[in-house]
Amino acid sequence: MNSRLFRAALVAGAVLLAAATPVLACPVTLDMDDGMPADKPTGSVAPNFPEDSPKDEPTPEKDSRFETFKQAVTNGRAGKITGLFVPGFKGLYVVQQGKGDNTGVSPVDGVVTQFSLPSGGVVGLMAHNYAAGKWFESFTPNSLVYVIYGDGKSVAYRITDTLRFKAKNGKSPSSDLIDLSTGETRTADQVYNQVYTGRPHLTLQTCIEEDGNWKWGRLFLLAEPVL
C-alpha cells in the first residue's frame, strides 16, 4: 500500500464527507487557516450525541439509551458499522468513507467516520476535534465502548491506551510526530503501523487543538476487544 495513503490518514480531514452519505463535499485544502474551518457545521443530524461526561461506567444493561440507540442504527446491513456507544454517554453515528477515498472525515457533530484502510480485524474510527472528536478526550483507559453493526450486533471494546502526538507540521500529511509522553520523534508511517496494524483492536482518532491550531497534534485511543 502506498505510504502516502498511510500519512494522509493522520491528517484526519483533508477531504470532508457530506453528512451520513458517501458523496464527497467540497474539499478543504491543507493550506487552510489554522483557525476554525470556515465550513464548520453548526447543526447536528445525531440526536443521540453525548451531552455530559459520565460520572461512572454503567453497563448497557443499566443504560436504557444503549438499546434505544442500537435500534436507531440497526438497518439490516450486516458487516457494516453504523454506531458507536460509550456507556454514560449517548451514541455516535458511524458512516463509511466513499469508494476509493481514505482521507474523508464527516464534519457533522455526532457522526464519526470509519477509516477504510485498516484490515485484519482492526477497526479505525475518525472524527474532527471540532465535531464528534471533541468527546474522545473524555474516553479514558478502562472505559468500555461498543461498536454496533447494521444487523444489531454489538462488539465490546475496552480502552487500553491513549497516545498523543504533536505534529511538527500539522498541515502536512507526511509530518513527523513527537510522542508527548516520551519526546520521541516518529514518522507518520511508524505511527500508522502502531495504531492501525497488528492484532484485532479498535482505534479512535482525532486531532489535538492547541492555541487555536486545530491540527496541532494527533490523539489515538486504542481499545482491545472484550472476550
pLDDT tens-digit map of 49-60: 344 433 344 456
Q: What integer is the mean pLDDT of 119-141?
A: 95
What letter represents residue 96's amino acid?
Q
Q: Can you tell me which residue has the cell 507518520?
A: 188
Res 17 pLDDT > 60: no
Instruction: For residue 211, give every residue at least 6 positions away whose Cβ sits within 8 Å of its Cβ, in sequence order, or none.
Output: none
Band of pLDDT at residue 33, cut at 50, 70 and 90: very low
Domains defined along the chain, listed by start: 3-30+46-225 (2.40.260.10)
Q: Which pLDDT does position 9 carry in this prediction?
A: 52
Backbone angles phi, psi at 8, to 5 degrees: -60, -35
Q: What does the alpha-carbon distance between residue 195 and residue 224 come to, in Å, rounded to a whole number?
A: 12
- Tell me how far apart the alpha carbons of residues 137 and 103 are, in angstroms, rounded to a whole number: 22
User: How far apart are the C-alpha atoms of 113 and 104, rounded to whole Å?
Assistant: 8
Copy the grid coordinates of residue 12: 484526519
Which pTM was predicted? 0.77
Cα-Cα-Cα-Cα dihedral sign, residues 185, 190, 192, 195: negative
Q: How many helices (H) does the chain have, and how many strands (E)?
A: 3, 12
Q: What is the pLDDT of residues 97-110, one digit of tens each?
A: 988 888 899 999 99
What span, in angstroms and rounded, lies between the C-alpha atoms of 163 and 22?
29
H or E segment and range at residue 223: strand 213-225
Residue 48's pLDDT band, with cuts at 50, 70 and 90, is: very low
Whether the per-residue pLDDT at 131 is higher than 80: the answer is yes
- Residue 178, H or E segment: strand 177-179
Strand pairing report for 104-105 and 15-16:
parallel
